[in-house]
Amino acid sequence: MMDYKPPFTITNAILKYVASISEKLGKLNAVQGLENKPHLRKNNRIKSIHASLKIEANSLSLGQVRDVINGRLVLGEQKEIQEVKNAYSAYEKLSEIDPYSINDVKHYHGIMTKYLVDEAGVYRSSEEGVFSGERCIFMAPPARLVPQLMSNLFAWMKSAKDDVHPLILSSIFHYEFVFIHPFTDGNGRMARLWYTAMLAKWKRIFEYIPIESQIEKFQEEYYDAISKCHRSGASTIFIEFMLSQIDKILDEVSAQIAGDNQQLPEHIQSLLSIMEYDVAYTSKALMEKLGLKSKEGFRRNYLVPAIEMKLIRMTIPKQPRNRNQRYIKC
């Protein structure tokens, strides 16, 4: 069916987000963004992998995911550790993905689910549903229809890629892929990987923008948008949701780059140098590492400026002086 077209409507909200995102991307490119910041690129990729797996109930912390990727020993379920290794292998090949190739989808599903499922890289042969936790959002189409539905989707994508803006096209694909649910397992991970791959083909900077972490923060709204689209029969609501999340994450990335570009005071550099990522420190532990005695001096000269620059975050932000307060390097 070459005349197949997924149902969607271009709304004023969608056009507004496309304009806003394009403007923010232009500003990021103007300051060379993430291109010359390998430490930020790797950190954001790890965030993407951790968030995408967390959505699928992987319990490993961001620090544990980082350790697995860096080849350190991690105590945890072997299945969850393998999920990290597989996802990292797939994301490291983002620039090689042809997002308009149905064979590439199968190939990268094989990488994403290696050693985890028997049907890696093969369409499902059983009936499946889309779940958020224990809640069934909808039942996917019958397995016998999957090959034709996928062929129709990819044929439309190829025909539409010169006419439909990449921000909109990728969001439509994301929803339609989740709806078709072509594989036994790993559909959510693959939808998010492919979404990033499509955007990265348009603007390479998307290889290192952790959209997945934004989705994870608003996971309930993510599944709610999918559910509403299923009921309405069109992906419009999901397109608006995804573009709103990209719009937000670009603000965070801009702040991240700005913070990295500014010349940090020596006090702040010293504090950051003795902190590991994803480790929660007490103020006492940090003072000991720095060899400081004055608690107020430490707060005034080190902690408060670092928090204001968003280089460090509090575990209990609404109660800065809570006795159980901990500090984590961002």
The pLDDT tens digits of the residues spanning 9-36 come to 999 999 999 999 999 998 887 655 566 6
Instruction: Indicate the number of domains in the chain.
Output: 2
- What is the pLDDT averaged over residues 124-141? 85
Q: Domain span at residue 287? A: 266-329
Q: Examine the domain organization and report whether 219 and 141 are in the same domain.
A: yes
Residue 321 burial (C-beta neighbours within 10 Å; 0-12, 13-18, 19+): exposed
Q: Examine the domain organization and report whether 217 and 293 are in the same domain.
A: no
pLDDT of residue 263: 66
Pick the last residue of a domain from 240, 261, 282: 261
Pick the last residue of a domain from 217, 232, 261: 261
Q: Examine the domain organization and report whether 247 and 104 are in the same domain.
A: yes
* 139 DSSP β-pair partners: 129
Q: Write the DSSP symbol of residue 277.
A: B
Task: Give dist(CA 224, CA 133) in Å, integer.
Answer: 12
Task: Give dist(CA 327, CA 278) in Å, integer.
Answer: 9
Q: Examine the domain organization and report whether 245 and 169 are in the same domain.
A: yes
Task: Give dist(CA 137, CA 134) in Å, integer.
Answer: 9
Taking 60 as the threshold, does the pLDDT of residue 1 lie above it? no
pLDDT of residue 36: 65
Q: Do the domain assignments include residue 5?
A: no
**Secondary structure class of 215 (helix, strand, coil):** helix
- What is the pLDDT averaged over residues 269-275? 88
Q: Examine the domain organization and report whether 202 and 321 are in the same domain.
A: no
Q: Please name the residues in contact with 27: beta carbons below 8 A apart, sequence gap of 6 or more.
A: 254
Pick the last residue of a domain from 225, 243, 261: 261
- What average pLDDT does the structure give for the chain? 92
pLDDT band at 3 (very low <50, low <70, confident <90, very high): confident
Q: Write the DSSP symbol of residue 201.
A: H
Q: Examine the domain organization and report whether 252 and 288 are in the same domain.
A: no
